[in-house]
Amino acid sequence: MPETSLFLLEVGLLDRIGTLLGQSGFDRCVVLTDHNVATAWRPSLQAGLAPLRQDWIVMPAGEEHKTLDHVRDLYGRMLELEADRQTPVLAFGGGVVGDLAGFAAATWLRGLPFFQVPTTLVAMIDSAHGGKTGVDLPEGKNLVGAWHPARAIWADPRTLRTLPRREWASGMVEAVKAALLASPELLERLEAFSRPPDPSRRQESESQELVFQSARIKRGIVARDPWESGERVLLNLGHTLGHALERAGNYSRFTHGEAVGLGLLAALRLAGRRGVLPDASDLRHRVESLLAAWDLPRAIPASFRWEVVAAGLKRDKKRLRGRLVFVLPTRLGRAEVFEVGEAEVRQVFEELQAAEGSPELG
């Protein structure tokens, strides 16, 4: 499953998607979106899809709806719409919409053509790329899923204009992760972009460049390791603890980016404790400063119990031989995989709970 998805990032792209689908031989499509995106951008995409027959499925917004029950609802709608193997599915939204639509497209009739139309910073930078789809179970995040890469990813930066600041902040975390993995220059760019942390005061070209450079890092890793048998595991930096915190907060206390931001701080602390990251405190300070600029949490709430978080960690898909697998930075622009003990993670968890001067939530 090589990464073959075409990635177009262009202002006004929503207006041309119907033409692009027509050029690919399609005369209809099914669009899956959520209420928030539909309110802001449905008229624009509807107009862009005017040459085609289009059917819309609008779901409630939020991670709590990324479940097998909602997939069953989608199957029912696909049946009503008589969607066949030549009916493309368009995921028009953020990561939740992309995961859910992609999983439905992968499994309905054993696979429908799938296209991503990401509208959030997280999706444009990260979740729309790489072919992972899935849903959550009560026991953990993305435990059920399939590989189903989009045939194309069409991103119109105009949709970022209506993105709430909290969602912008969440997307910035994925950009920080990409910088820690592969690009000291990107980290400098993110720091400059965050002075002040107000996208409305930046040129749209700056936002586009941020998206392009961040997505390029993920797409390069995926192209080299499409099946996550080696290098691609590095993309889980910050996500092992991040996913467990999301679950512990019932997917409502933290956004995905907020939880991953805390996961990045945990990874930097673990790397410092183990002595694998020179100048760990300096790099941690830079990341903490970026999180602070965007009012992102830098402390785990005192109400979170370790036993609940530990239960989520034990459901992590990357666990090996009963030990946790963490991606840890070894220098700015490089990271490696380490097996760690639960006691080590608990120490870092408790340090982050005791962090002074760091808000629990932005």
Q: State the catalytic residues.
A: 110, 132, 174, 218, 228, 232, 236, 239, 243, 256
* Tokens found for residue 36: 């928030």
Task: Give the other-Cβ count within 10 Å of 221's Cβ.
Answer: 23
- Judge contact between 134 and 144, C-beta under 8 A: yes
In our burial notation (b when 16+ CB lie closer than 10 A, e otherwise), range 6-17 reads: ebebeeebbbeb
Taking the C-alpha atoms of residue 157 and residue 123, their distance in angstroms, rounded to an integer, is 12
What token pair was written down for 96? 């939740």
For residue 67, give Cα distances in angstroms to 115, 139, 195, 357: 21, 12, 38, 36
CA 102/CA 268 separation, integer angstroms: 32
What is the full DSSP assignment across 101-153? HHHHHHHGGG---EEEEE-SHHIIIIITSS-EEEEEETTEEEEEEEE---SEE
Candidates 261, 12, 2; CA nearest to 122 is 261
Question: From its phi and psi, is residue 275 left (phi > 0), alpha (psi between -120 and 50) or beta?
Answer: left
CB atoms near residue 18 (< 10 Å) = 20
C-alpha 146/C-alpha 68 separation (Å) is 13
Sign for the pseudo-dihedral over CA of 97, 180, 168, 129 = negative
Nearest-angstrom CA–CA distance, 126 and 128: 6
Are 101 and 114 in contact by the 8 Å Cβ rule? The answer is: yes
